[in-house]
Chains A and B, each alone.
Chain A
Amino acid sequence: MSENDVGAGPPEFAELYARHFRSLTLQLNAYFGDLEQAQDVVQEAFVRALDKWKKIQNYEDPAAWVRRVAWNLATSQWRRRRMVRAYALRQRQETVAGPGPERVALIRALATIPNDHRRAVILHYIADLSVAQIAEQEGVAEGTVKSWLSRGRAALNSRLAIKEV
Chain B
Amino acid sequence: MSEFHDSDPLRTLFAEYEDDTAPQIRAAGVAAATIAVRRLRKVRSTLIAAGVALLFAMPVAAYALMSRPTGPPVTPGSPGPTVSASPTPRPPATPVATEPVPAGGISRDELRSATFDVPAFVENEGYVPCGSGSIAFINGSGGMVLSENNRQLIIGGVSYADIDGNGQWETIVHLECSQGETGPQQLIALRRAGSTIQTVGAVVKTDAEIQQFYDFTGMSDGTVQVNVRSGRICCDVPYSSMQHQVRGYGWTGQRFEQVLGSRSFHSDKVNLQVTVSKLVFGKPTAGVRTGTVMVRVSNTGPVAVEDVILLLSLRHAEVAGPGWAAERWLPRSPARHFETLRPGENLELDLSVTTTQANVNEVGVQIFAFSAMTNGDLLADSKPDDNEGSGNLAGISPEIQFG
CA distance A79 to B22 in the complex (A): 24
- Is there contact, CB below 8 Å, between A79 and B236? yes
The reply to whether the CB of B16 lies closer than 8 angstroms to some CB of chain A is yes
CA distance A32 to B22 in the complex (A): 15
CA distance A7 to B38 in the complex (A): 9
- Is there contact, CB below 8 Å, between A78 and B236? yes
- Is there contact, CB below 8 Å, between A47 and B234? no
- Is there contact, CB below 8 Å, between B21 and A35? yes
- Is there contact, CB below 8 Å, between B150 and A65? yes
- Is there contact, CB below 8 Å, between B234 and A61? no
The reply to whether the CB of B280 lies closer than 8 angstroms to some CB of chain A is no
User: Separation in Å of the B166 CB from the closest CB of chain A?
Assistant: 38
Question: In the complex, which of the residues A9, A69, A78, A157 contacts B385, with contact meaning CB atoms closer than 8 Å?
Answer: A78
CA distance A137 to B36 in the complex (A): 27
CA distance A119 to B20 in the complex (A): 20
- Is there contact, CB below 8 Å, between A126 and B18? yes
Q: Map CB proximity to B onto A15-26 as digits: 1 under 8 Å, 0 otherwise.
A: 001000110011
- Is there contact, CB below 8 Å, between B14 and A79? no
- Is there contact, CB below 8 Å, between A47 and B36? yes
- Is there contact, CB below 8 Å, between A156 and B10? yes
The reply to whether the CB of A82 lies closer than 8 angstroms to some CB of chain B is yes
Contacts of A106 in B (CB 8 A): 13-14, 16-17
Contacts of A76 in B (CB 8 A): 234-237
Question: In the complex, which of the residues B5, B21, B402 contacts A99, with contact meaning CB atoms closer than 8 Å?
Answer: B21
Given contacts A6-B37, A73-B236, contact A103 B179 (CB under 8 A): no
The reply to whether the CB of B8 lies closer than 8 angstroms to some CB of chain A is yes
The reply to whether the CB of B109 lies closer than 8 angstroms to some CB of chain A is no
User: Separation in Å of the B87 CB from the closest CB of chain A?
Assistant: 49
- Is there contact, CB below 8 Å, between B150 and A39? no
The reply to whether the CB of B364 lies closer than 8 angstroms to some CB of chain A is no
Q: Which of B26-34, B351-359, B373-381 contacts A (4 or more CB under 8 A)?
A: B26-34
Write the chain B residue with the least CB distance to A163.
B9
Contacts of A64 in B (CB 8 A): 149-150
- Is there contact, CB below 8 Å, between A43 and B28? yes
The reply to whether the CB of A94 lies closer than 8 angstroms to some CB of chain B is no
Count of residues in B whose CB is under 8 Å from the partner chain: 63
Write the chain A residue with the least CB distance to B36.
A47
Contacts of A149 in B (CB 8 A): 1, 3-4
Contacts of A60 in B (CB 8 A): 147-150
Contacts of A157 in B (CB 8 A): 9-10
- Is there contact, CB below 8 Å, between B30 and A13? yes
The reply to whether the CB of A81 lies closer than 8 angstroms to some CB of chain B is yes
User: Separation in Å of the B229 CB from the closest CB of chain A?
Assistant: 14
CA distance A106 to B37 in the complex (A): 35
Q: Map CB proximity to B onto A27-60 as digits: 1 under 8 Å, 0 otherwise.
A: 0011000010001000110111011001100111
User: Separation in Å of the B354 CB from the closest CB of chain A?
Assistant: 26
Given contacts A35-B21, A54-B141, A89-B393, contact A9 B33 (CB under 8 A): yes
Q: Choose among A4, A58, A125 the residue with the greatest number of B CB atoms under 10 Å from its CB.
A: A125
Contacts of B185 in A (CB 8 A): none
- Is there contact, CB below 8 Å, between A55 and B142? yes
Q: Which of B121-129, B212-220, B260-268 contacts A (4 or more CB under 8 A)?
A: B121-129
Interface hits, A71-129 → B, CB 8 Å: 72-73, 75-76, 78-79, 81-82, 86, 89, 96-97, 99-100, 102-103, 106-107, 121, 124-126
User: Separation in Å of the B79 CB from the closest CB of chain A?
Assistant: 39
Write the chain B residue with the least CB distance to A60.
B147
| A26-B21, A103-B21 given; 4 more Cβ-contact pairs under 8 Å | A35-B24, A72-B181, A97-B24, A124-B4
What are 16 residue pairs bridging A and B, where the CB atoms are less than 8 Å apart in the complex? A21-B27, A26-B17, A30-B17, A43-B32, A43-B33, A47-B36, A47-B37, A47-B40, A54-B142, A59-B150, A60-B149, A76-B237, A99-B20, A125-B11, A150-B3, A162-B10
Binding site for B on A (CB under 8 A): 4, 6-9, 13-14, 17, 21-22, 25-26, 29-30, 35, 39, 43-44, 46-48, 50-51, 54-55, 58-61, 64-65, 68-69, 72-73, 75-76, 78-79, 81-82, 86, 89, 96-97, 99-100, 102-103, 106-107, 121, 124-126, 130-131, 136, 138-139, 146, 149-150, 153, 156-157, 160, 162-163, 165
